Structure 1
Amino acid sequence: MPIISVESVRKTFGEVLAIDDLTFAVDENEIFGILGPNGAGKTTTVECIAGTITPDRGQVTVLGADPARQRSLVRERVGYQLQSTALPPALRVGEAMELFAAFYESPADVGSMLDLVGMTGERRRPFGKLSGGQQQRLSIALALVGQPQVAVFDELTTGLDPQGRRDAWQLIEQIRNRGITVILVTHFLDEAERLCDRIAIIDKGRSRFIGSPTELMDATPHASTSPHRLEDAYLRLLDQDTASTARGM
């Protein structure tokens, strides 16, 4: 049984169709990437998984629970890092961790979490004094302090410099090595190629591809004179979809 199942899910906001007939499953202890252009429905998808919004139609299950109907149960099991973590500037790192830990029945040890993300020395530093990379590492620790079985990271490395991105990648790999299933929303194709066991490419709210990065690259034609990368395959896939839509008009 998959640890997460999304079946025929549809979600609208007024007249805007965010996701439409979306179906995929996530296996235990894999890193599953969700990719797509801006506005494709990626964040809406993970919000349905986390239970922060309810689908209009279809079914989502997380560890056998319905996030819409069993929100508190899913919240205990799923750690969710938002696109941007905004905390009061004067709130210290240790205080933020202790505050979030208080939301859970059996939280992780705060010191251990700070050690995992390399923030032990910043425990008394105010949030407003942290660098962008430090803020992202703190957001990872906050997502993990409840000892979740699933961790969702939404655009984790946006705005980070190359070293900050590499550090975040290593943390993601460490998290998976601790037995946690990871959902990674990203628009960085090198990130997905490096980290993800499988990916779902979403465009205009619908699934365009589900499989491993290698499967996408193997299935997409490319020029033999240049190295084939996931980015090339991704762009060709979306170009093919655009061309097919144009022919159908």
Structure 2
Amino acid sequence: MTLLAPAAPASTLKSIAGRSGSKAAASSDTCTTSSAPTSRPLSVESSGLFDPGGYQLARSSAEIGQSPLVLGISGFAPTFLVGLKAVRDDHGPSLAALGGRRLTGFAIVRFIEDGDWYADCPIVLDFDGVQVEICHSKFDELSIGWNTIDTTAAISGWEWFEMTPAWSGADERLEPFIGQELREVALLEWRPSRRDVAADTLAVEFVFGTGRFHIANALDENIIEVGDAHPAFVRHLLDRGAQPD
């Protein structure tokens, strides 16, 4: 995922032009690697533009970094974490606390011209007024935000590009879960028997009475998958009263 600041020059078109294939697929899209858990915050160039070849990262695990405007999305200030422990420590209790709430809405970004899902952008889920914002990046990074993105605001700064991104509440994978009560939330850790580039990647799973879906890392973008996860995923159920193992 290449995160672009608004009003990017034409030279950055190549970072979006690759949205053919899974980026342009409206039906599916993300999974990743990690070693020692660490946060990897964004660092913005003084010019206000992200590196067209991939956004800049500060590698210090002690730093917590956020960008005030990413992809022209109002309120999107991602803090990317790596590894099960980091994500569970920071977000496990809050994710578990969603249990018992209904999924009352969602928002993803689509291009107005053709309806294609722009899978680099965060997926926003609303549980009875509590908004969780999930975004995967690179091979091992996951950002989970809470109540910061304004999906009623237009996505700005894309006048230079031939397509127009906008928030959408339409998605055939998520629509069947609207109105259903959330029963469980789990972190899924990709642990194949033969280690691959996606080993230790995390996905976030939401379980309802009639089914489940998870949001995973499709190696540098998001993917939404419905149903049971691949057996190579190790499931870590999030429980507000349980101590991390």
TM-score range, shorter chain: under 0.3
Higher strand share: 2
Higher helix share: 1
Q: Give me the TM-score of the superposition, normalised by structure 1.
A: 0.26
Q: Give me the TM-score of the superposition, normalised by structure 2.
A: 0.27
